[in-house]
Amino acid sequence: MSQTTTTRSTAPVRPPVAPADAGPRSLDDLAALDVAALEALYRRGTVPASMRALDGSPTCRMLAVRGIDRGAAGDAIRRFAASGVFPWAGKSFDANGDGDGKGINRVRLAGTRRWFPFTTRFEPSAIDGQPCILLDYDHVVNPKPIRMIRDELREVAPGLFLGPAMLDTKKSAAKLVLFFACDTRAN
């Protein structure tokens, strides 16, 4: 009678792990990051082939304000931005074609109002000179302070767009104020 011996590994079986650079996959994941981490993620982001990728009224959120993005103040701002009483309700987008479009902000004030229109186009980023989607508020219908806003977007995960909001006085380089994101997957 012959005996067959099999050797079994005693190492525990582990489920596959996502790569460390898989990155954030939701608005909550993004909101957990500070400004430096958001900027690094934005720099790795890409632009879609068509402006139509943003069409609709995605779920949006302010994520972190430069200079107050850590500690108790940063945590309080994150909670407020995620709440239903935060005044900014997001953005709505409507592509004219693959390369440009228009949009408007949704603001909660005695209901949800549509204020501060912008146009969209592909342009080099003020952050790193690489392609981004520019949200251009410099239109006569907007008040002067709104016209000085420079918003940009890049896709950091499928359907998840991250962007800096900057103040652009045209006299000096645009200055980062905060980061925001738009999630088109629930659109």
pLDDT in tens, the chain (187 residues): 444 444 444 443 333 333 345 678 899 999 999 999 999 999 999 999 999 999 999 999 999 999 998 889 999 999 999 998 999 999 999 999 999 999 999 999 888 899 999 999 999 999 999 999 999 999 999 999 999 999 999 999 999 999 999 999 888 889 999 999 999 997 6
For residue 74, being part of any structural domain is answered with: yes
Q: How many independent structural domains does the chain possess?
A: 1
151 contacts 133 by C-beta, under 8 angstroms? no
DSSP-assigned letters across all residues of 44-97: H-B--SSGGGG-B--EEEEEEETTS-SHHHHHHHHHHHHSTT-SEEEEEEEESS
Instruction: Yes or no: say if 54 and 183 are a contact pair by the CB < 8 Å rule.
Output: no
The Cα 187–Cα 180 span in angstroms is: 17
What 3-state class would DSSP assign to 164?
Answer: strand
Contact 133, 120 (CB under 8 A): yes
8 located within any domain: no
Q: Is 132 a member of any domain? A: yes
* Residue 122 is assigned to a structural domain of this protein: yes
- Residue 39, in any domain of the structure: yes
pTM of the model: 0.85
Q: Which domain holds residue 179?
A: 35-186
Asked whether residue 4 is assigned to any structural domain, the reply reads: no
Per the structure block, which two tokens stand in for 116?
């501060």
Confirm whether 92 is domain-assigned: yes
CATH number at residue 45: 2.40.128
Residue 27 maps to a domain? no
Residue 144 burial (10 A CB sphere; 0-12, 13-18, 19+): exposed
